[in-house]
């Protein structure tokens, strides 16, 4: 359902060219759970940012259900981002002034429709990630693992088909990390959401059905 063809992203900083991603091709079948691994600077976040429609590739294609999303206008990409995919950042990226509940329903309101429905769904999603008792807490009143689960609930508010997570456990202790990974597994297993996550931890291989290794922006057959 998601195909990446010869994806290349070259950053230019002054006269310096950084080939962050070179000729990467892959397919994510619906319901897949894939882990992207590679050393620091190997291009993992760059790949996720292209897939998450946060950045545009220098060349190559990303196709969601037959549609080339690299060619869409900014407005169409924003809409696609809201309706088709969810994105989870290493550093949670919650709004500190808003409660967990408000953080989760905010991206729903951006699509229009009755706020009441989004509020109800946000409360259900927070229950699903085990935070039913915490919905009125602000981020600073939550643990790191709880904040990341709020971010997962937020990523789900518009029923995405795919979820992209960039080192979702990097800022968490091992127990919170396990809870977050189990939460992602459950979404994949029970709701069939396609998941691509980045990890540094070789232990996380156990969560993935498929592994992708990057080295210097290129796909390599194994972790070298």
**Residues contributing to the site for Mg ion (CB under 5 A):** 44-45
Query: Does residue 130 interact with ligand ATP by CB under 6 A?
Result: no
**Considering beta carbons, is residue 178 or 216 the nearer one to ligand ATP?**
216
Residue 42 Cβ, how far from ligand ATP at the closest point, in Å?
4
125 sits in which H/E element: helix 115-128
Q: Could you give phi then psi for residue 43, rounded to 5 degrees? A: 110, 10
Residue 52 Cβ, how far from ligand ATP at the closest point, in Å?
12
Contact between 97 and 42 under an 8 Å Cβ cutoff? The reply is no
Neighbours of 201 (CB within 10 A): 15
Neighbours of 108 (CB within 10 A): 23
Query: Does residue 11 interact with ligand ATP by CB under 6 A?
Result: yes
Query: Does residue 13 interact with ligand ATP by CB under 6 A?
Result: yes
Q: For the packed helices 100-109 and 115-128, what is the interaxial angle rounded to 10 degrees?
A: 130
**Considering beta carbons, is residue 44 or 81 the nearer one to Mg ion?**
44
Query: Does residue 42 interact with ligand ATP by CB under 6 A?
Result: yes
Q: Could you give phi then psi for residue 44, rounded to 5 degrees? A: -65, -50
C-alpha closest to that of 54 among 37, 34, 74, 24 = 74
Instruction: Give the chain's largest Cα–Cα span.
Output: 53
Query: Does residue 88 interact with ligand ATP by CB under 6 A?
Result: no
Query: Does residue 81 interact with ligand ATP by CB under 6 A?
Result: no
List the one residue from 38, 107, 139, 145 that touches ligand ATP (CB under 6 A).
Answer: 38
Window 203 to 222, contacts with ligand ATP (CB under 6 A)? none
* Residue closest to Mg ion, measured at CB: 45
**Residues binding ligand ATP (CB under 6 A):** 11, 13, 18, 20, 38, 40-46
């Amino acid at each position: 359902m998601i195909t990446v063809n010869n994806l290349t992203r070259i950053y230019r900083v002054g006269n310096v060219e950084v080939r962050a991603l070179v000729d990467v091709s892959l397919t994510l079948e619906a319901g897949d759970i894939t882990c992207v691994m590679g050393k620091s600077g190997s291009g993992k976040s760059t790949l996720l940012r292209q897939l998450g429609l946060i950045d545009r590739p220098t060349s190559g294609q990303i196709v969601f259900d037959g549609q080339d999303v690299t060619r869409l206008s900014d407005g169409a990409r924003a809409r696609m981002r809201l309706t088709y995919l969810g994105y989870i950042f290493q550093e949670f990226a919650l709004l500190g002034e808003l409660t967990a509940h408000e953080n989760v329903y905010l991206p729903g309101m951006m699509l229009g429709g009755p706020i009441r429905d989004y509020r109800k769904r946000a409360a259900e999603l927070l229950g699903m990630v085990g935070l039913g008792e915490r919905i009125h807490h602000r981020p600073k009143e939550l643990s790191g693992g709880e904040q990341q689960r709020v971010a997962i609930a937020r990523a789900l508010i518009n029923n995405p088909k795919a979820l992209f997570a960039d080192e979702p456990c990097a800022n968490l202790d091992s127990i919170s990390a396990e809870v977050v990974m189990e939460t992602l597994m459950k979404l994949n297993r029970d709701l069939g959401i396609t998941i691509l996550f980045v990890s540094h931890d070789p232990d996380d291989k156990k969560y993935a059905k498929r592994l992708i290794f990057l080295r210097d922006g290129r796909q390599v057959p194994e972790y070298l």
